[in-house]
Structure 1
C-alpha cells in the first residue's frame, strides 16, 4: 500500500509539473497572439487625422515607392528641411501598411538618442522591440550581428527616424541582407548625402504644403470655435504666408495664437518681423549646427547677402573669402539649407530668417560684436557711433551698405580699415544706375584709417555712374583684394 501511495504521489507531481509547463506555454502563445492582433489593429484605432492634413497625396507617393508585396528588400529615404513633415509622413505610411508585415519596429529620435546614449543603446532598443525582452549589447559589432541573425528570416517593416550619421544606418540597417524577403526600411533625415551613400533604393524629397493645405492645417490648430476671431481670415493668411508651407511653423504658431484676440494676433505678427519664434528657429538650427565651420560661414554669407543673387556673380568672391563654395554649396543643398533656381541662390524664407537669427543671437545686445551687417540702420548706427565703436568692432566678417551718402562712403572706408576679420564688404550707390563694389580682404590687421585715404570717393571716380553706363542693374563691379595695395578689377559686361 505504501508503494502504491508513493507512486501515485510521484505521478501527481509529474502531472502538476507538466500542467505548469503547458500553462506557461499557452500563456506565452496567447501573449504572442494578442501582441500580433494589437500590432495589426493599432493602425486602425489610432486617430491621426489632425496630423494627416495635406499628407494624403504624399502618403500615396511614398507607398508606391515602397512597392508593397513585390518581394525582395527595399529601403526608401525621405529627406528635407527640418519641420517639413518627414516624420509625420513616414509614421502615417508605416501605420497604414504595417498589417502586411510580421512586425513593425520604430527607432525614433535617432540623432538625439545617439548623442545621449550611443549606438549600442539604439541597437538594444531595436532588439527590444523585436524580442519583447531586454538585450545587452556589448559592442556595436555584436549588435549588428544580433540584428542580422534575428531579422534575416523575418518580413519586417522598420522606421529609422531622424538619422544624421552614416554610422547610425550601418549599425541599424547595414545591409539589405539583414532582413527577410519582402521587408521594408524607411529612413528620415535632413541629409540627402547619407541616403545616397547608403545606397537606398529610392531617395524622396519631402514637399512642403501648398497654400490651401497650409490654410487647412493652420485652421486645425488656430481656429477657436467658442470665441471666433472677427478678422481670422485676413490674419490667418498673413501667418500662412510667413510659414511658407512649413508644417512645423503652422502648428507652433497656430497653437500659440489659438486663445489670442485680434490685437494680440497683430502684435504677435509684428513681433515675428523682428524676433522669430524660438521653437521654430531651434528646430531649423539643428541642420546648421551639424555643419563644419567653413560651411557655416558660407551659409550665413548666402542667407544674409546672396539669396536670389546669380551664382556666377558671387562665386569668385565666395572663393576669395575662403568659403570653399564649390563643395560647400553642394553640402548645403544636400542638407536642404539652400537651393538653386534658374542659376540663383534660394532658400526657404524661415531658413533665411534662421540665418539672420544666428547672427543676431551671437551678441543680441552688442551690435559691435556681430559678425555680419546686412541692415542699413545697423550700418548707420556704426557710422554715427564714433571712433570707439569702430575700433571695438573687430568681429565683423562681412557687411553690406546700401544707398550710401558721401559721408557714409568715407565712414565705410574707415570701418573697413578697422576690421581685422573682415573678408567681404559691399557698398551700393543708387542714382540713375546701380553700382555695387565688393571687396575681399584676407589680411586687414595692418591697415589703419590713413591707409584707406587713397580709396576715398575722389580716387574712386573712375567707377562713378557715368563710367558705368554700359552696365545695367544686374551688372556687378567687383574688387578683390588680398592686400589694399594690390587691387584687381573684375567687371562683367552686359551681354
Structure 2
C-alpha cells in the first residue's frame, strides 16, 4: 500500500472526464509501445535481477556500455533479456532485439545476412527500411546508423565470437550512450576488449523455485497438504532451472494421486547432476505413443518452417487421429508453445532433447533414423541413394542462394587452417567443402537437383518438405504412404497424371510455377496455395481455382 500511495496519477473532476480518458489512453498506448517484446506470462525472481541490471547499465551515463548475461541453458537468460529490453526501451528510439542468434546464424534460410538486415530494419528511421543486394552494404549501413544514433541492441543466444563480430562489430561503431546486451551459455565468446561487464544469471532460490513449480502444477502460489513435501523434493532435484520447473510442473498438473507424484520423483532422482535434458525427457516419456511421435515430428521437422497452429495440425492430420487433442496436450505440458499470432515455438533445450532421441535410434547410420533434418545429411542421402524404410520424415528447406564459383575458396580455407589451426578455421574449411558439395547439385537459378530414384526404398515416408528443389526422374517414385508434401518454389509447369499418392492429405505448392495439375489448368492470384483433396476432388485454400 505504501508503494501504491507513492505513485503519481491524474486528479479527476467531472469537468475533465474526456481529457482524463484521452490521457489514460495515450499513457496505455505509450506503455504498449515501450514493451515491444513478449515476456513469459508468469515469471518469478525477475524484479530483483532486473533492478541489478538496470543499475549496471545506468542509462543516465553517456559512455557505451556492453553487458553479457551468462548462464546455463534453460536458466532464464532470454526471459531476463526481454524484460530488460522492455524496461529500457522508452529511453531509446533506435532499438533492436535479435532472438535465437545461434540458431538463425547457422540456418541456411536465415543466416548472418538475415540478422544484419533485421538490425538495419529495426534501427532505421525510415518507414520503409533500405534494402541492399549484398552483405557488405548492410554492414556499412549498420555502422552508419550505430554511429549516428544512441541505440539499444540485444543479441540473444550467442555461442561464437564470430557471430558477435559480424552482428555487433567493434566499440568504435557506436555512439555515446548506446547499450548492448548479449546472452550466452559460454563466457569465452565475450571478448574483454568489447564487453564491459558479465552478469552471471543464477538459478532460482528454493522459495522462488517452489512458487514457479506450484504455479504450473497447481495454478496457485504454494502447494498444500500431502503434496507440499513432495513438491519441495522435486524442486530440489531440478536445480532451480525455470525451464525444468515449468515442464515438470506442467507434467504433474491435474494429477492428485500421491503415488503418481512419488513415481515421478523417483525418476527425477535417477538423473545425476543438473542434467536438464534428462529431466525434460521424463515429460516426454509420460506421453502416449502417438503424442511422442507428433512431438518428434515437430521438434525435428517443423520448427524452422514458420508454421502456425493450423499449419501444424493440417500437416499431421493425415498421419494421426485426434491431432488437435495431442497438440493441446503438448502445449499443456509446456513442450511446445504458440506465440506471437499463433506461431509455433519450442525452447531449444526441448528441441535438442527430441532430436537426441532420434539420433539415438541409430548412432552409426543417420539414414537408419526416422527423421532427417540436416541439409548435408539429406543431400548425402540423395547423392548415395541411401534411402531406407526407417525414414518417416525429411526436411530440405533451401532458399535461393548464390552458390560459390571461386574454386580457390577451399584451397584458401585449407591454407588458413594449416597456418592457424583452431576451431574457427576448421569450421571455415569444412564449410567450403560443404559449399562445393552443394554446388554440384545447383542449377544457375539456385535450385538443387535431386534424383527421385532415392525414394523407392523409403516406403514409410510420411512427411516431406522441399524448398527450391528440382526432382529428376518420375514423381511416381514418391512413396504411396506420403501424407504431407510441401514443395515450395516448385519449378514444374504441371504435375504428371501418374503422380497421385493415394494417402496424400496436404499438398502445399506455395510460390510455385505450376500451371496444370493432373492435366487440369490451375490458376491462382494468392502467393501461397495449399491444396487438400480427398480421393479425386480438390479444395482451394486460397482465392481462386479454375
TM-score when normalising by structure 2: 0.42
Using CA pairs below 8 Å that are at least 6 residues apart, which structure has the higher relative contact order?
1
Structure (1 or 2) with the greater helix fraction = 1
Return the index of the structure with the highest Cα Rg.
1
